[in-house]
Structures are given as C-alpha cells and as structure tokens.
Structure 1
C-alpha cells in the first residue's frame, strides 16, 4: 500500500509521515521545499519525495502521482502570517482536494481510494446539523469575513460531503477535526467523537499534532476503523483535555 501525503513538511504532516513509515508503509510526499524535511527521510527506501508545488502540477502529472496510491492524506494549511492568510492561493486546501479527487477519478481505480483530510472543529458537519450557540455563530461569521483560511477549510470539507458524497465509486473520505493544536513528543490517549463535545470558540479542548497523525495513520491502515468513520467528520481530543 502506498499513501500520498500533501502538506508533509508541516508540523502535523511530518508526524503523519513518520508514523506511516514506522509501520512499514510506502509513502509519497509532494513538497515545495524538500530541505525542510527530516534528514532521516532522504535515504528511506519507503519514501518518495516529489519536489513540486502541488497546485502547479499538470493534470497528467497529478494523475501519475496518485496512480498507485491506496490512500491520500492532506495536512495542508495556510501559514499564519500576512501572506499565508491573505495572499494566494486562498483556496489551497479546497483546490488541492478537488484536483486530487479529479486525478483519482481519471485513473478509474478498481477499488475506492481513501482520502483523509485534516480539517478543524471550527467547521461544522452540516450532514449532522450540529448545533452551536448564537455567540459562536457570530464569531464564525466574522472568521468567514476576516480569515480566508477558515473559508478554505469549510469549502474543502464541503467538497467531499457534497461533490464526492457517500457512494462514490472511486473515492471514500474522512475529514478529521482536531481542536486546539499542540506540539507533543509522544502519542497520548485521545478520544474520537462524531461531533464536537465542547465549543470550539468558547471552551476549546486540545489535540496534539502527533495524535492527529496517529489517528490518520490508523484510518489509512485499519479497515475496520475506516469503515466506522468513512463519509464522516470525526472530532479528536486529547483525553487529558476532556477532564
């Protein structure tokens, strides 16, 4: 099995790739700046590094890169500086998701490819009509106006929900929603819920990036876990943040 990872040079993407490699899985990464990757990856026979900006790849190149992949994982995000928030590409996550899914469909795979999208608890799963307070609705509305990355996250998940849907012949998907992201050195206990159990704005929990990588790795490699969550937007919290 081979997994293609985009956003592999980010803090969560690095954790995901490390855990896939530790389980003996083949991994491809598309990265604009390979020099940012851990030096230990360079000579790893399980890893193929593709040096490119993902949205600058041609449709043909995209299809070739995903051709032999059993799964694709996106840990893409916007840099939290002025250029990353307000510069181009504003729809980085959404456009990458759309183009990768189109590439999968072009290849006409015999069995569905798993697409795992890292998302956020600030985005509701509209399939479940998740309730939020009036105050949170106001804040989310302001985020949509002021922060293009939030809209990008919403539209990427909406693309999977509405354009790929639940019965696509070529693609199955899960959108993983962590809460407030933290940096930890080791995997710790965590819990998975279909929807947020606390307010992402007024009572946020914590989720370590390494735990997100662990859960995404399990989704990719564990058929039972995949079948439990496919077509959904599970929320992940560090267990300690629920106490």
Structure 2
C-alpha cells in the first residue's frame, strides 16, 4: 500500500515510518523539519519526504499528497512547551484530521481509505459505556480547562466518530489510544483492548512508542486486524503493564 503519514518526524511517527518500510509499504511523510530526519530515510526508495507544515498546505496540495494513497496515519501532537501547549494552532490534530478527510472525499477514491488517528487513553470512546470514577471525571474536567491539547485530542476523535461515522463512502477509521508512552528500541509483546483496563489518570499503564508504531503499521498490512478494529478506539498496552 501507499501510506501518507503526518507527524512523521515525531517520537512515535518515526517508529511508524520505520515499521511501514519494514513491511514494504510505500510511504509519503509530511514533516516540518526534514533536516532532523534519520540519514537513512533520505536514500530510501520506499519513502517520499514532503517538507511542509500540514495546516499551511492548501486544499489542492492536501488532495495531491493524499491522492493514490490507500491509508493515512496522523501521529500529530503538540510540543510540550508553553508555545506548543497554549499557542496556535490549538486545534492542530482536529483541523488536520478534518482537512485530510475532506481531501480524501475530493479525490473520490474507488476504495475506502484507512485513516488511523493516534489518540490517548485520556479520551473516552463515547460510542461505548466506558465508566470512570468521579475523581477521574474531575481531573479530566480540569484538563479540558487548562490543557488545550487534551480538548484537541477529544475533538479529533469525535470528528471521526460523528462526522465520518461507521458507513462513510470513502473512509474507514480507527483511533489508537496508547497509555503512558515510553522509549524502547525493539518491538515487544503488547495487548489491545476495546477500552482502558486501567485508569489513565490514577493507575496508567505503559506502552512503548515502537509498539504503537508496529500496531498501526500492522493495522494497515493485516486486513483481518483492520476489520476487527475499524470504527473503534483500541487501547494498547505493553503486556507487562496490562495486568
């Protein structure tokens, strides 16, 4: 498949691109700072690097970059700096998700594209009954007031749930929800659940970024796995932290 990755230069996006290349996909990577990319990427025939800021692309450019792709993955996130958290664009993930989906529709593909959004366990899947404690509700309420990136993550997933839905003509989607992200060098055993098995606030689990990248790449490669999780918001943990 040909896969468009946005947020490809991020901590998880880099792992995703590596896993896609290992699985022999053709990858288009939109990155703001190509000079920070691994040198091996620049000489890889399976990878096209597109230097750009995703929200600065025009509608025509967005359609051109997504044309010919069978899957799009968003690993976008806000930098953990004052400007990244409280500056503009505050709706980076939501606006990118919306504009990419609109570009897919403009291209009028013959087959539905797979859209994967990297999200967070701090965001509930409102299509399911995911009960949380009163204390966690209070903390999440504070996060909505104090941390714009949390609201951005919620709204991006809600766009897929409510605007794209389960029977869109052009798009199938999944929103992958990792818990506490860690850095590891190798893929290890991990588990996928429909909903969190731990409290994202008070008793969070762990998952390595490389495992998240591996799972998202495998969703694209494995048709049966995709059928299992499309239209859903799977939660991923390292096996050791899922108990």
Please give the TM-score of this superposition, normalised by the length of structure 2: 0.99
Name the structure 2 match of 1:69: 69
Q: Deviations over 1:148-191 (max 9, x none)?
A: 00000000000000000000010000000000000011011000
Between the aligned partners of 2:53 and 2:225, the Cα distance in structure 1 is 32
Query: Conserved in 1, the CA contact under 8 Å of 2:112 and 2:172?
Result: yes
The Cα of 1:220 is off from its aligned counterpart by 0.8
Between the aligned partners of 2:82 and 2:190, the Cα distance in structure 1 is 33
Within 5 Å, give how 1:54-133 maps onto structure 2: 54-133=54-133
User: Alignment RMSD, CA only?
Assistant: 0.5
- State the SS of the aligned residue for 1:42: helix
Paired positions, count: 243
- State the SS of the aligned residue for 2:77: coil
Query: Where has structure 1 moved over 2 Å in runs of 4 or more?
Result: none
The Cα of 1:92 is off from its aligned counterpart by 0.3
- State the SS of the aligned residue for 1:200: coil
Q: Deviations over 1:22-50 (max 9, x none)?
A: 11110001111101111100010000011
Name the structure 2 match of 1:38: 38
Name the structure 1 match of 2:151: 151
Between the aligned partners of 1:33 and 1:4, the Cα distance in structure 2 is 17
Query: Conserved in 1, the CA contact under 8 Å of 2:23 and 2:221?
Result: no
- State the SS of the aligned residue for 1:90: coil
- State the SS of the aligned residue for 2:43: coil
Query: Conserved in 1, the CA contact under 8 Å of 2:72 and 2:116?
Result: yes
Q: Deviations over 1:27-86 (max 9, x none)?
A: 001111101111100010000011111101110010010010000001000000100000
Structure 2 portions without partners, runs of 5+: none
Between the aligned partners of 2:9 and 2:132, the Cα distance in structure 1 is 33
Q: Deviations over 1:165-219 (max 9, x none)?
A: 0000100000000000000110110000000011000100001000000000000
Q: Deviations over 1:97-134 (max 9, x none)?
A: 00000000001100100000000000000000210000
